[in-house]
């Protein structure tokens, strides 16, 4: 390339780059300004802006998608864990993001978990999570991990084990899919609503991501499942205590003294289990482990 051509390229770059930077700064400002009004809009109205932004994006769709994905993560992060909070804009923000860049896998995979998790850990909208993952599969049929995400939502959050098994099985047909997809399909179909199934699924999520937020959430699920297994075992021992002594134990120590349990009897975070009313074992009030309402043990019948 001649010196004249080099100079021409430099001049063009010096002209185009500032324009691009101005466009990005202008877009960022517009998003900030419009954030407050969006809070009062219905999700249906916001959803329509995805295709419109794609038309107005001047070819910078991936850049816009990154900005909206960042906004979605910020929006989620500001609300997660806050009781009584709502996530009305999470679905629309994820829809806009994936409309602008249909190949942005992080938005499908992690966005679906944000949507599916029950409040206050997430939006509590597994139906929207299913729609998002199916959108990702339609745009990226070769991405077999999306079928695993779909299977997770169906099994963990919707308790639809037939659809979950179908999702895992369909994903396993991809020649690049790992063998555990077939094993997962068989396990879900056979065992359905079991702790073993849940631990297998969340263990795969924990091992397959480097995102600290998702990894932390997966570990929280694994710890709560381990605690649930422990508490169910203690509950059986409490029933045995009643059958032997005609009353329920007042403490975990009474179970130990009766020879019905042994070991440390601590949850995964190292907090000793406690004995609740009517001999129902429970987490230590100081434990950071959080169990979902359907994980808690029922009151004894005696």
Query: For residue 58, what pLDDT is reported?
Result: 56
Tokens 């804009």: give the residue.
Answer: 89
Residue spans of the domains in the chain: they are 24-30+42-140, 144-208, 219-295
Mean model confidence pLDDT for the chain: 82
Residue 258 CB: number of other CB atoms within 10 A?
14
Find which of 44-58, 76-90, 123-137, 202-216 is predicted with most confidence, using mean pLDDT. Answer: 123-137
Cα–Cα distances in angstroms (integers) from residue 54 to residues 18, 48, 70, 163, 245, in the given order: 22, 11, 17, 33, 71
Q: What is the reported pLDDT for 51?
A: 62
Q: What pTM did the predictor assign?
A: 0.66
Paired tokens of 81: 């864990």
Say what the pLDDT of residue 82 is: 86
302: its two tokens: 């005696």
pLDDT in tens, 81-120: 888 889 999 999 999 999 999 999 999 999 999 999 998 8
Which residue bears the tokens 């070991």? 263
Q: What is the pLDDT of residues 236-249, one digit of tens each?
A: 999 999 999 999 99
For residue 93, give the nearest of 122, 59, 126, 132 by alpha carbon. Answer: 132
């Amino acid at each position: 390339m001649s010196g004249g051509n080099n100079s021409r390229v430099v001049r063009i770059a010096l002209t185009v780059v500032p324009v691009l930077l101005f466009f990005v700064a202008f877009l960022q400002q517009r998003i900030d300004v419009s954030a407050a009004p969006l809070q009062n809009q219905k999700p249906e109205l916001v959803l329509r802006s995805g295709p419109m932004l794609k038309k107005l994006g001047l070819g910078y769709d991936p850049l816009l998608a990154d900005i909206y994905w960042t906004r979605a993560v910020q929006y989620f992060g500001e609300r997660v864990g806050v009781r009584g909070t709502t996530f009305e804009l999470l679905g629309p923000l994820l829809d806009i993001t994936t409309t602008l860049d249909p190949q942005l896998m992080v938005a499908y995979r992690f966005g679906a978990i944000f949507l599916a998790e029950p409040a206050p850990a997430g939006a509590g909208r597994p139906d929207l999570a299913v729609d998002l993952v199916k959108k990702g599969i339609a745009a990226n049929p070769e991405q077999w991990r999306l079928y695993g995400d779909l299977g997770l939502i169906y099994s963990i959050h919707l308790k639809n084990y037939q659809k979950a098994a179908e999702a895992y099985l369909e994903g396993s047909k991809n020649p690049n899919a790992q063998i555990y997809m077939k094993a997962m399909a068989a396990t879900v179909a056979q065992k359905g609503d079991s702790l073993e199934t849940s631990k297998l699924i969340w263990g795969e999520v924990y091992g397959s991501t480097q995102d600290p937020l998702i990894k932390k959430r997966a570990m929280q699920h694994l710890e709560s499942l381990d605690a649930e297994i422990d508490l169910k075992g203690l509950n059986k021992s409490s029933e045995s205590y009643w059958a032997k002594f005609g009353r329920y134990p007042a403490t975990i120590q009474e179970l130990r003294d009766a020879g019905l349990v042994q070991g440390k009897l601590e949850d995964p975070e190292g907090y000793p289990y406690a004995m609740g009313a009517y001999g129902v074992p429970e987490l230590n009030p100081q434990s950071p482990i959080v169990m979902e309402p359907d994980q808690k043990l029922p009151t004894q019948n005696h």
